[in-house]
Amino acid sequence: MYNLAIIGAGPAGIFTALEIQKIKPEWKIIIIEKGSRIEKRTCLLREGYQKCPRCKKCGLLCGWGGGGAFSDGKLTLTPDVGGHLLDYMDRVHVNEIIKYTDDLYLKFGATNVVYGNDRSLSVDIERAATLAELKLVHSPVRHLGTERSLHVLKAMQDFLDKKVTILTDVQACDLIVENEQIKGFTLSNGDKIEAQYVVVAPGREGADWLAKEFARNKIGMVNNAVDVGVRVELPAAVMEPITDKLYESKLVYHSPTFGDEVRTFCMNPHGEVVMENYNGISTVNGHSYANKKTQNTNFALLVSKKFTEPFKEPIAYGQHIARLANMLSGGVLVQRFGDLLDGRRSTPERIKASTLTPTLTCATPGDLSLVLPYRQLLSIIEMLYALDKIAPGVASRYTLLYGVEVKFYSARVKLTNNLETQGVKNMFCIGDGAGVTRGLIQASASGVLAARTIASRG
């Protein structure tokens, strides 16, 4: 019998463990992680494979550190982006937890440099953005880079190894709920974990499992907006006037035709585009190294759409669109912006005859208009033209669009203000998988919040 069992060793689960062992050092705590320990994590694509073998457990997403391990390690130090914690707590409280969480990252080896703190540097960008009908969201960013992210998460693993039980390569299966109270859960190896408290933190990778487990237990969920889009790649020089000052710029636009929100997300100056595999579904993402630079910059353009009743399958909607891209391309599809506008597919020859070399070499040249709904595709095109006004060259015919980028945080668990599941006592749902967050710092902060509440109950 454990005092606390944590499902998932991503940032949300790790920070739950860091905080709880500090307040309750005498407690028996266990972390269950379906992937491997951090030193054993590999992604064959990163090691030179030409084609993603679609591993059963994606090395990029599963294992100690979760999606954070090979991430770009951008810690966005504001409550305004990267999650919904402001829906549960007032701004002062969220700011305090973000600061506390950031300090923990620093303690475990994060870099000191924060971009975007000096607002005077971004006055010109803000003005140009306003004229282009774009909103620049002020967001200071601490950038770790992929190498440092791995280092920090490894330090956390080494520290927690001595304090809690860490069980890797085993998956949580059935949640055991009795009389509206969590009792534990079963494991893929046939064992059962009994615990007084359970924190469920399975990330986007486990969002589908969580939604199905909740449906089985008749626990309610609500829909977040569905975020679908593309990853844009262009010469780093095009974005330098912005990225040199802010590193990452969060720009929000409302597309003229449909009025939908389109935003830039996860900008990686001199970075690379990567492919990720969600239980057999390939999608695209990006990251950058602190010390290894490519000639290109990439970022996502995500179109947010909130659907109304009777729609209740936001994750399945995103999966459906991603599957279309997979069906046509065998994985991820890439198209030049000019080809999209000309109504023709990109071909290997056309990609070759560009000024830009793709960093994701296994993407198949194709046609995004066969994959993305008209509404989302047009919103992306309109956003590219708006961005071109503040960074000329964005709407170049050579700009590459990879499809698709989908974020599986669109189903949200119904929670109390302390992130406890409504209707199931002692079960807390946190991080991206619960639909509460969508970035490293808020996912980690949600773990701190859950741990503090649990500890306060004794």
Name the residues that contact ligand FAD, by CB under 6 A.
7-13, 32-35, 60-63, 66-68, 70-74, 76, 82, 171-172, 201-206, 209, 266, 274, 276, 285, 287, 431-433, 438-440, 443
Phi (first) and psi of residue 63, to 5 degrees: 120, 175
CB-based burial label for 198 (10 Å; 0-12, 13-18, 19+): buried
Phi (first) and psi of residue 319, to 5 degrees: -65, -40
270/287 with CB nearer ligand FAD = 287
209/402 with CB nearer ligand FAD = 209
Taking the complex as a whole, how short is the minimal distance between the CB of residue 341 and ligand FAD, in angstroms? 28
Rounded CA-CA distance 92/347 in Å is: 52
Taking the complex as a whole, how short is the minimal distance between the CB of residue 387 and ligand FAD, in angstroms? 20
Neighbours of 241 (CB within 10 A): 15
Taking the complex as a whole, how short is the minimal distance between the CB of residue 369 and ligand FAD, in angstroms? 26
206/365 with CB nearer ligand FAD = 206
Taking the complex as a whole, how short is the minimal distance between the CB of residue 353 and ligand FAD, in angstroms? 29
395/450 with CB nearer ligand FAD = 450
Query: Could you give the count of Cα atoms lying within 13 Å of 347 in the half-sphere of its Cβ?
Result: 5
Taking the complex as a whole, how short is the minimal distance between the CB of residue 147 and ligand FAD, in angstroms? 13
Partner residues linked to 251 by β-bridges: 136
For 144, the token pair is 């770790």
75/136 with CB nearer ligand FAD = 75
Taking the complex as a whole, how short is the minimal distance between the CB of residue 82 and ligand FAD, in angstroms? 5
Taking the complex as a whole, how short is the minimal distance between the CB of residue 5 and ligand FAD, in angstroms? 10
Closest by alpha carbon to 16, among 402, 414, 370, 427?
Answer: 427
Helix and strand tally (H, E) in the chain?
11, 22
Phi-psi region of 44 (alpha: psi -120 to 50; beta: other; left: phi over 0): alpha
Taking the complex as a whole, how short is the minimal distance between the CB of residue 177 and ligand FAD, in angstroms? 16
**Per-residue three-class SS string for 369-398:** HHCCCHHHHHHHHHHHHHHHHHCCCCCCCC
Query: In whole angstroms, how far apart are CA 407 and each of 141, 215, 224, 335, 379?
Result: 21, 20, 11, 20, 17
Taking the complex as a whole, how short is the minimal distance between the CB of residue 314 and ligand FAD, in angstroms? 17
294/346 with CB nearer ligand FAD = 294
Rounded CA-CA distance 411/436 in Å is: 9
Taking the complex as a whole, how short is the minimal distance between the CB of residue 9 and ligand FAD, in angstroms? 5
Rounded CA-CA distance 170/179 in Å is: 27
Taking the complex as a whole, how short is the minimal distance between the CB of residue 347 and ligand FAD, in angstroms? 28
76/410 with CB nearer ligand FAD = 76
Partner residues linked to 31 by β-bridges: 6, 166
381/430 with CB nearer ligand FAD = 430
71/319 with CB nearer ligand FAD = 71
69/334 with CB nearer ligand FAD = 69
Closest by alpha carbon to 290, among 261, 314, 270?
Answer: 270
CB-based burial label for 132 (10 Å; 0-12, 13-18, 19+): middle
214/398 with CB nearer ligand FAD = 214
Q: Which helix (H) or strand (E) holds 262?
A: strand 261-268
Residue with tokens 């030193």: 39
For 116, the token pair is 């975007």
